[in-house]
Structure 1
């Protein structure tokens, strides 16, 4: 990993009358997985949604690959090469798996070679290619949600709790897909409550508290320091 592909500097975000982000400073290195960790409700999801543009930053700057994207609309950020997997999956239940994937390819038709790779990573997508997405199981819907973000080669993937509520076998499939994406050199900012997944995938980590980043460092350091885990998040990863 080298220079950051994404930099947040003093980012504040309000939702209605609530101040959620209170000056977030964050760098995501190029070509690795950065875990965004912290207790529930500290601003992790709001950070991702502010980066992709679903929420507008009240102040501060967001730089992507050297360009200021703070004021860009969501479609422009997607065209710039940012993929987003929301916690609520964001799929279209009335449309087929195929139609969901076609809509996700913002730059043109789906690349057959990339689609074949996605079928290898997520076999159920090929099985249910013509089926309505709403009829898929929870795990299959999550596969589709991640595959939509991976429909094209993005420069940065923002992924919000991809393994939440899933069975261990599905979690293993998800982790394998993200590991393969990482192997290909992708840059990923990942919110994840499953610490086993976080330890297995993360290269660097940023810990949030009360709308701010309170610690950044190597994932290996946090994963092996129970006292640091307790101080930062009030729990030990070894118990999860």
Structure 2
């Protein structure tokens, strides 16, 4: 296998007096979707935030295409081609949809071809292009949040629970957009609690528990083994979690 797009090696992250990540090791293969799974509170979001530089790793390496980015500030990591979709969406409610997208396009004017593709997967963004983002529905805000990360082709996409709390129709739209991004050859690290989405999109899986990685392997292997799901996460994801 070729060198991974991203490699975490012995990563420790502390938040105040709490030791959240405790020696995290995993790879994100190039051109694949890696699912980051586990129960709530085990360190998945902290892992994404540490990769993105929002939290600083106390120890360990975070290698992006072989370059250690662990000590870089967040803007520098973004400029290296890392797109991040936080769980709280991270959009600017007082700005229009168009202005949100312009701000996300760091390399210059919006690319018309890519914008047309985003309109095809997220039609409400075109409908409300001149409207304030704060007036969008919850699902539409999530579409905008993901579209902002997708507005330019990135080396790596970090996406935190994109379907959380969304209606089934919006979940389907979101999954379709992520599948198209995958089909373009994107490297994606995706935190997702909806198992049907994880099973449909994931190539590989990383399962965390208590700040550590407890299992890595093919997503299909995990999806096909309810006993393994139960052992790793204390639940059967087939139950709809």
Give unpaired runs (5+ residues) of structure 1. none
Show the counterpart of 2:134.
134
Show the counterpart of 2:65.
65
Q: Deviations over 1:57-104 (max 9, x none)?
A: 011110001111111111111110100000000000000000000000
Show the counterpart of 1:28.
28
For residues 30 and 40 of structure 2, the distance between their equivalents in structure 1, rounded to whole angstroms, comes to 27
Show the counterpart of 1:50.
50
Show the counterpart of 1:154.
154
Once the 2 structures are TM-superposed, how far is the Cα of residue 107 of structure 1 from its aligned partner? 1.2
For residues 2 and 219 of structure 2, the distance between their equivalents in structure 1, rounded to whole angstroms, comes to 16
SS at the partner of 1:4? coil
Show the counterpart of 2:164.
164
Once the 2 structures are TM-superposed, how far is the Cα of residue 2 of structure 1 from its aligned partner? 3.5
Provide the aligned C-alpha RMSD in A. Answer: 0.7
Once the 2 structures are TM-superposed, how far is the Cα of residue 238 of structure 1 from its aligned partner? 1.5
For residues 234 and 166 of structure 2, the distance between their equivalents in structure 1, rounded to whole angstroms, comes to 24
Q: Normalising by the residue count of structure 1, what TM-score does the alignment of the two structures yield?
A: 0.99
For residues 107 and 26 of structure 2, the distance between their equivalents in structure 1, rounded to whole angstroms, comes to 28
Show the counterpart of 2:108.
108
SS at the partner of 2:5? strand
Show the counterpart of 1:209.
209
Is residue 96 of structure 1 aligned with residue 79 of structure 2? no
For residues 57 and 77 of structure 2, the distance between their equivalents in structure 1, rounded to whole angstroms, comes to 14
Give unpaired runs (5+ residues) of structure 2. none
For residues 49 and 238 of structure 2, the distance between their equivalents in structure 1, rounded to whole angstroms, comes to 30
SS at the partner of 1:185? coil
For residues 104 and 178 of structure 1, the distance between their equivalents in structure 2, rounded to whole angstroms, comes to 18
For residues 66 and 107 of structure 1, the distance between their equivalents in structure 2, rounded to whole angstroms, comes to 23
Q: Deviations over 1:22-81 (max 9, x none)?
A: 010010000010000000000000000000000000111100011111111111111101
- Superposition misfits of 4+ residues, deviation over 3 angstroms: none
Q: Deviations over 1:154-177 (max 9, x none)?
A: 010000000000000000000000
Q: Normalising by the residue count of structure 2, what TM-score does the alignment of the two structures yield?
A: 0.98
Mapping of 1:191-210 within 5 angstroms? 191-210=191-210
Show the counterpart of 1:86.
86
